[in-house]
């Protein structure tokens, strides 16, 4: 099938790349490829063992030409598709680059966990100082992708098994104002194969530092897609599109997190940490129940959610901070939160009117509010959380 052809092509490209530095201008400067081991686990591959390769011109510190990031794995259980890889090759665009303001183009390719994606990305990044948390970035990416083996899917109902060709333009502004760190992300994308659709998303975050009293964090997310043909791009209140789950090794394949935990709603996958997406806590259990029953009406074309967190100092974090070296790699954050969100489109609200979240006392307080006969459900939750 296409898996074999794709893998043969990428092995050929990698071979040409490693031969290239031995000729022409590359002879003037050496090229280093640093290997490191890699291992992971999911239920289909078993233990994945592999090697990561970091390639760059020595002394350029990830800022020079011919930058390579790649990894190749072997699934030790020898499944139908035992070999997987990821590859990103990046070159600077010198005509549009200067100190603290680099432009690059990248080739991206990957086949892993029953999913492939191949494409190209052009990016311009402005970073005023040495702190990598504060930057502005404009990114244009176009890629083809497909879930070709649903055995890997955590929730197979959320995948169409069709190839898509998606082109996305994204702007990110991560900075700091008088209140504290802030982040604005806006994206617009189009899918061109089969049933075409357009999708827009916006994600705004603001942190307010309160000294020793802790901090406040507010977040607003809105998303809209013009077609429900491809369920992997649709929203749940408790989490973003299924394609976003491919951005995390914990959720890209079944079994890294016990599937029952996710399907029973015991684990809440935060789209806010993976990327852009809704993340309404308290809704996961009932939404997962509907999916287990084969009911896809909870997958929405539109969503708007609001998040508010108050993070406060606790004795464990105080001890970690005072210990010095422990604070370098440990943390224990405790917080109170309140979330609310619902659908924007009338069609989403209408088919979602029968959803009844009730009251969830195990993790959050889930409050079900019906705003009118045609408004569907606008859901709210509040609770306590801890983050390691």
CB distance 31 to 57 below 8 Å:
yes
- Residue 110, token pair as written in the block: 């990957």
Helix (H), strand (E) at residue 323: helix 315-323
- What is the distance of C-alpha 309 from the center of its chain? 21
What pLDDT is attached to residue 355?
A: 47
Going by C-alpha positions, the residue among 281, 259, 260 that lies closest to residue 269 is 281
Phi, psi (deg, nearest 5) at residue 36: -150, 150
**Considering the entire predicted model, what is its pTM?**
0.83
Query: For residue 26, what pLDDT is reported?
Result: 43
Mean pLDDT by 10 residues, the chain (388 residues): 57 53 50 94 96 90 87 95 96 90 96 97 92 93 97 93 96 94 96 95 94 90 94 90 90 92 81 68 84 86 93 80 70 84 75 44 33 50 73
For 207, residues 6+ apart whose C-beta sits below 8 A from its C-beta are 179, 180, 181, 182, 215, 216, 217, 218
Asked if 50 contacts 249 with a C-beta cutoff of 8 angstroms, the reply is no
Distance CA 241, CA 61 (A): 35
Burial class (CB in 10 A: 0-12, 13-18, 19+), 26: middle
C-alpha torsion sign, points 191, 246, 85, 76? negative
Question: What pLDDT score does 363 carry?
Answer: 35
Q: What are phi and psi of 289, to 5 degrees?
A: -60, -45
Q: What is the pLDDT of residue 80?
A: 93
Please, what's the b/e burial string for 142-176 (b: 16 or more CB within 10 A of its CB; e: otherwise)?
A: bbebbbbbeebbbbebbbbeeebbbebebebbbee
By CB neighbour count within 10 A (0-12 exposed, 13-18 middle, 19+ buried), where does 328 fall? exposed
């Amino acid at each position: 099938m296409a898996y074999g052809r794709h893998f043969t092509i990428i092995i050929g490209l990698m071979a040409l790349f490693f031969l290239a530095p031995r000729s022409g201008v590359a002879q003037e400067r050496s090229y280093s490829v640093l290997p490191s081991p890699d291992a992971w686990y999911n239920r289909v591959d078993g233990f994945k063992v592999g090697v990561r390769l970091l390639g760059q011109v020595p002394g350029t510190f990830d800022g020079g030409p011919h930058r390579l990031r790649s990894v190749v794995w072997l699934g030790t259980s020898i499944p139908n598709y035992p070999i997987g890889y990821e590859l990103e090759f990046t070159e600077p665009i010198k005509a549009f680059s200067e100190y603290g303001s680099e432009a690059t183009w990248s080739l991206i390719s990957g086949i892993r966990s029953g999913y492939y994606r191949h494409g190209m990305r052009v990016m311009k990044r402005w970073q005023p100082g040495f702190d990598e948390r504060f930057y502005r970035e404009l990114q244009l990416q176009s890629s083809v992708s497909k879930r070709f083996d649903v055995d890997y899917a955590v929730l197979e109902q959320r995948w169409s098994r069709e190839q898509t060709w998606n082109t996305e333009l994204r702007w990110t502004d991560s900075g700091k104002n008088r209140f504290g760190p802030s982040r604005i992300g806006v994206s617009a994308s189009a899918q061109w194969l089969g049933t075409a659709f357009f999708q827009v998303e916006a994600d705004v975050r603001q942190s307010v530092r309160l000294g020793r009293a802790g901090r406040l964090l507010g977040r607003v997310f809105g998303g809209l897609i013009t077609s429900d043909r491809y369920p992997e791009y649709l929203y749940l209140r408790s989490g973003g599109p299924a394609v976003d789950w491919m951005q995390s090794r914990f959720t890209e394949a079944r079994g890294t997190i016990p599937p029952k935990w996710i399907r029973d709603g015991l684990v809440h996958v935060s789209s806010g940490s993976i990327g852009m997406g809704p993340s309404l806590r308290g809704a996961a259990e009932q939404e997962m129940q509907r999916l287990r029953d084969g009911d896809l009406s909870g997958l929405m074309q539109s969503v708007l959610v609001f998040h508010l967190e108050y993070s406060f100092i606790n004795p464990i974090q105080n001890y970690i901070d005072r210990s010095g070296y422990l604070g370098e790699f440990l943390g224990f954050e405790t917080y109170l939160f309140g979330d609310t969100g619902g659908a924007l489109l009338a069609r989403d609200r209408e088919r979602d009117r029968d959803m009844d979240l009730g009251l969830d006392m195990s993790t959050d307080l889930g409050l079900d509010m019906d705003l009118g006969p045609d408004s569907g459900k606008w859901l709210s939750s509040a609770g306590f959380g801890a983050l390691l």
